[in-house]
Amino acid sequence: MPFAERSGRRLHYTVQGDGAPLALIPGLGSGARLFGTLPRRFARAGFACLTFDPVGFAPSSPHTGEYDFDAAAGDVVAVLDAAGLERCRLAGTSLGGKVALRVARLAPERVSGLVLLASSAIVTPRARRVYRFFEVAATQLAGAAFAEVVAPFLFGASFQARAASIVDDIVRALRPDPATRTVMAAQARGLQHFDGVADARAVRCPTLCLAGAEDTLTLAAEVRATAELIAAAEFRVLDAGHSLLLESNAAFDAVCSG
């Protein structure tokens, strides 16, 4: 089981496939399991697909203290080092997109391109209330209630209608343990104070900003505003909600085409 080590932090990672390096960075409250079988799909599409479990998600180190975007970016670089990937395209979903932006600012020589999935550099007053909602859910709702309350916001209405059984399975499986709740709450607090405008303006690599037309967590207008801050960004809206890679084959194809 491969690990990266940095400043007393251990991060579990895997690489599947050969080809152009692509790292998937998970969102709030999620580790590598968020991506399911996607790494194998990307491997079949010709990528060396790296996934990892951030600090707080076993078997990586437990999370302590508050969430730090600089530390999260340093962890990504440490994983790239351990995997022997000198330069890599980063695809970050939601919070993961914010981490990817921070990596591109702090270590631009390591990033060949960015894909930001349902992610915004700008935190509006509305977005702060969304992140506060997740903090409250992580700290105050029991397992079954947490899943029922949170799940409707994770997917677009169209996906929930056509894939109701999949959504039901995800709801049944969405039972965060105490360690996950701790890091999720810390991430949600960190998001409330995040400001990625300087990160976005510093990006010089090709960047694709993907938004879901049915996303009620990160609005398409917020993703568009982020793309407008980045010198070499392309903005697209897809027929999906917040979980773009799960809901939309077009999102997968867009990541592959860059």
Asked if residue 170 belongs to a domain, the reply is: no
Q: Which tokens hold the place of 70?
A: 């600089």
pLDDT in tens, 165-185: 988 888 788 888 899 999 999
Question: Could you tell me which of 114, 81, 124 has the C-alpha nearest to residue 235?
Answer: 114
Q: What is the pLDDT of residue 247?
A: 95
On the 0-12 / 13-18 / 19+ scale of CB atoms within 10 A, 33 is exposed
- Residue 232 CA, distance from chain mean position: 21
Asked if residue 251 belongs to a domain, the reply is: yes
Residue 230 sits in a domain of what CATH number? 3.40.50.1820
Where is pLDDT greater, at 119 or 168? 119
Q: Is residue 156 within 8 Å of residue 247, measured between CB atoms? A: yes
Where does the pLDDT of residue 218 fall: very low under 50, low under 70, confident under 90, or very high at 90 and above?
very high
DSSP codes, 48-75:
EEEEE--TTSTTSPPP-SS--HHHHHHH
Where does the pLDDT of residue 99 fall: very low under 50, low under 70, confident under 90, or very high at 90 and above?
very high
Asked if residue 62 belongs to a domain, the reply is: yes
Q: Is residue 25 within 8 Å of residue 100, measured between CB atoms? A: yes
Question: Could you tell me which of 102, 104, 126 has the C-alpha nearest to residue 113?
Answer: 104
CA distance 4 to 10: 6
Q: What is the pLDDT of residue 171?
A: 79
Count of the separate structural domains present in the chain: 1
Asked if residue 115 belongs to a domain, the reply is: yes
CA distance 132 to 169: 26
CA distance 123 to 107: 23
Lowest-confidence segment of 112-121, 136-145, 207-216 by average pLDDT? 136-145
Asked if residue 23 belongs to a domain, the reply is: yes
CA distance 200 to 114: 11
**How many CB atoms are located within 10 Å of the residue 219 CB?**
18
All residues at 6 or more sequence positions from 79 whose CB lies less than 8 Å from its CB, including other chains: 4, 11, 13, 23, 50, 52
Asked if residue 156 belongs to a domain, the reply is: no
Asked if residue 204 belongs to a domain, the reply is: yes
Sheet with 47-52: list strands edge to edge: 3-6, 9-16, 47-52, 20-25, 88-93, 111-117, 207-212, 233-238
Q: Which tokens hold the place of 119?
A: 């992610």
Mean pLDDT of the 145-157 span: 89
- Percent of the chain at pLDDT exceeding 70: 100
Asked if residue 153 belongs to a domain, the reply is: no
Domain span including residue 98: 3-123+195-257
21 strand-pairing partners: 48
Question: Could you tell me which of 253, 246, 206, 250 has the C-alpha nearest to residue 42?
Answer: 253
pTM of the model: 0.96
